[in-house]
Amino acid sequence: MTFNDFNFNQLLQEGLNTMGYKEPTPIQKQAIPLILEGKDIIACAQTGTGKTASYLLPILNKINEEKTVGINTLILAPTRELAQQIDQQIEGLAYFTGNSSIAVYGGGDGFNYEQQRRSLNDGVDIIVATPGRLIAHLTSGTIKLTGLKHLILDEADRMMDMGFYDDIVRIISYLPEKRQNLLFSATMPHKIRELTKKILYQPAEVNIAVSKPSVGILQQAYLTFDEQKPKLLRILLKQKEFNSVIIFASRKEIVKKLASSLERSGLEVEAFHSDLDQAQREKILMAFRGKQLQVIIGTDVLSRGIDVAGISLVINYDVPPDPEDYIHRIGRTARAETTGTAITFINQKDQRKFARIEKMIEREIPKIELPEGLGETFVYNPLASGGGHAHSKSPRKWKKKASP
């Protein structure tokens, strides 16, 4: 199957040919025909499966075929980074189709809000927005969505995690009852099912690789005490050849401390956290995408919606709080059928968390021996309350283990 089989508008198809789009991904094969038919859908697909194009392409096609006037489509996203990423993809395709879009998100100053207001008044085909900032524009009367044709919720589970349920319901009150609704989520917790009953009409369901990491990811783990983690991290970054590295930590305080420590050891790194303003975040991401920056350290704000090609290594400095977060974190690597490595540091208290991850992905992740000189570790015991017991043993020479 190729993109020609969808019978897209000539302008859109020419754009896809120019941009090198050839064969659709599984989510695109299933979702695009349903969207073109006008059906509501609920699609379960993890990051990196091509889900953004699976809804953008048919929507752009419908806008051009139907010649609609005014705001045609609203896309809601949980973070400003994801909103910007989606808007950038629309801009790339709009070079050929002539469609207009705007990313609406908070975090800027009053000038940023006023700039968004003017752009919205000028009129656009597609709005990509975070819920909070969109509500500010709706309540001020800046925009009217009474003629909206399509509502898209991207990473709906993340929006639920961030407490946007009530905001989404409020936004929907401004929309016309007759519209096409598309909901995309990596997981389907109860809150998502509850939301689908409120906003979707007889939805078709699309499920692609639910909660399973890409087969291209080499997954490994180390059993390590907290005090061993900083040295282990430095060893891994210096011993292995990786072009782009993302390190995830549980709190921004750890992110800042790690960045300072790695900088002192001679590594070029940047910390990415909520204390940075939007301009600082964009500068870091631009340097990372452009390969001027090799290592970026952040909390889970980085795990969703950051589309950077060629990430070769993801390190979980802390075990993620939920198995789904693990999927999103390591999904930053091995995207678009490439390969990559994901390494997780497991301390004693996080063994049960990691066992839940292994149960969810239905495989045991190899536990690699600590490099020589790091000292003793402990025996993996996921049933232990608080995490098992120290296990004294002589350090053995570290050898890289092959992929299972």
Domain termination residue (choose one: 162, 188, 208): 208
At residue 164, does pLDDT exceed 50? yes
SS3 316: strand
Task: Answer yes or no: do 177 and 277 share one domain.
Answer: no
Type and span of the H or E element at 221: strand 217-223
Task: Answer yes or no: do 222 and 186 share one domain.
Answer: no
**CATH number for the domain including 139?**
3.40.50.300
Task: Answer yes or no: do 68 and 181 share one domain.
Answer: yes
Q: Tell me how long the chain is.
A: 404
Task: Answer yes or no: do 240 and 384 share one domain.
Answer: yes
Q: What is the pLDDT of residues 177-219, one digit of tens each?
A: 999 999 998 777 778 888 898 899 999 999 875 556 777 789 9
Question: CB-based burial of residue 349 (10 Å sphere; 0-12 exposed, 13-18 middle, 19+ buried)?
Answer: middle
Show the domain range for 71: 3-208
Task: Answer yes or no: do 66 and 200 share one domain.
Answer: yes
Strand-pair partners of 314: 246, 342
Q: Please provide residue 150's backbone torsions phi and psi, each rounded to the nearest 5 degrees.
A: -140, 135
More confident residue, 390 or 40: 40
Per-residue pLDDT at 84 = 87
Single-letter amino acid, residue 54:
S
Q: What is the pLDDT of residues 250-270, one digit of tens each?
A: 888 899 999 999 999 888 899
Name the residue among 196, 312, 299 with its Cα closest to residue 248.
299
State the total domains in the chain: 2
What is the Cα–Cα distance from 205 to 44, expressed in whole angstroms? 8
Q: What is the pLDDT of residues 137-159, one digit of tens each?
A: 999 888 889 899 999 999 898 88
The owner of tokens 């309350």 is 385
SS3 173: coil
Task: Answer yes or no: do 45 and 143 share one domain.
Answer: yes
Task: Answer yes or no: do 86 and 172 share one domain.
Answer: yes
